[in-house]
Amino acid sequence: MEARSFGRAKALPDSVDGPVAAEDGRYLRLPSGLQVQLRGDATPTGPLVVVLSYDSDFNLRVRAVDALRRAETTDTPPRSRFSIEQRARLARTLFALDASLRAQSYRQIATGLFGEDSGAEDDFKASPRRDVTIRLVRRGKALMAGGYLKLLRAGF
């Protein structure tokens, strides 16, 4: 195919910071919160080529490209279909997962989630906060093991 059949190439919108190096490439975080991987010798100011795998997650990939297109015109992230409460629970889940991956105890995680007095209880093992903390860590590990795709497919 000829390059001219694709229209005029566009550069990425301005990023908050320059590219950040990671094990699997370089990344940019756009003001909208969208994260973009730069492959090879691609630069943020050069023409952008979007590569999509045609697989079971193709619709997710198309939505991500649409979010990139919207990031060109606005710094506002796309609206989530989750309620405020669902987003807050997801944030607590990710906090608990991160703390667990740093080898913190359930008591330490509960203190981070619920405040100083939650982990100081003498009966922490019988505390409802301990049960909630354990469930949040378990849910976070399930998300990490691929459950996050269910969130994306549901239209997060």
DSSP 41: T
Q: Which of 87, 19, 84, 8 is nearest to 48 (CA)?
A: 8
pLDDT in tens, 38-70: 888 877 777 777 778 888 888 888 888 887 777
pLDDT in tens, 59-107: 888 888 887 777 777 767 667 777 889 889 999 999 999 999 999 999 9
Q: Is the dihedral of CA 53, 58, 46, 25 positive or negative?
A: negative
Q: Which residues face 35 on adjacent strands?
A: 29
Determine the 3-state secondary structure of 25 from DSSP: strand
Distance CA 37, CA 22 (A): 10
Q: What is the mean pLDDT of residues 134-149?
A: 91
Domain boundaries along the sequence of the chain: 7-71, 84-153
Quote the mean pLDDT of the chain.
Answer: 80
- pTM beyond cutoff 0.85: no
Q: Which residues face 38 on adjacent strands?
A: 26
pLDDT in tens, 10-33: 666 666 677 888 888 888 887 777
**pLDDT value at residue 96:** 96
